[in-house]
Amino acid sequence: MTEPALDLKNQKAEFRKKVEELLPNGNLNLCFTCGTCAGGCPATGLENMDPRKFVRMVALGLDDEVLSTPWVWMCSMCMRCNYACPMNVDIAGMVGLARQAWPRDQRPKGIVNSCDMALKHDTCSAMGASEEDFQFVVEDVLEEVRETQPGWEDLQAPVNKEGAYYYLNQNSREPVTEPDEMVPLWKILHLAGADWTYGTKGWGAENYCMFAQDLEAWEHIVRVKAKAVEDLGCKVWLNTE
Gap between the Cα atoms of 231 and 78, Å rounded: 30
Residues 128, 96 share a domain:
no
pLDDT tens per residue across span 125-180: 999 999 999 999 999 999 999 999 999 999 999 999 999 999 999 999 999 999 99
35 pLDDT more than 70: yes
Residues 123, 94 share a domain:
no
Gap between the Cα atoms of 32 and 19, Å rounded: 17
Q: Domain for residue 1, yes or no?
A: no
pLDDT tens per residue across span 12-22: 677 777 777 77
Residues 65, 41 share a domain:
yes
Task: Note the pLDDT of residue 81.
Answer: 93
Residues 191, 173 share a domain:
yes
Residues 153, 46 share a domain:
no
Domain boundary among 77, 103, 129: 103
pTM of the model: 0.81
Q: Domain for residue 2, yes or no?
A: no
Are 173 and 114 spatial neighbours (Cβ–Cβ below 8 Å)?
A: no
3 pLDDT more than 50: no
Task: Note the pLDDT of residue 31.
Answer: 81
- Listing DSSP states for 33-93 in one string gives ---HHHHT-TTTTGGG--HHHHHHHHHTT-HHHHTT-GGGGT-----HHHHH-TT---HHH
Average pLDDT, the chain: 90
Gap between the Cα atoms of 158 and 162, Å rounded: 10
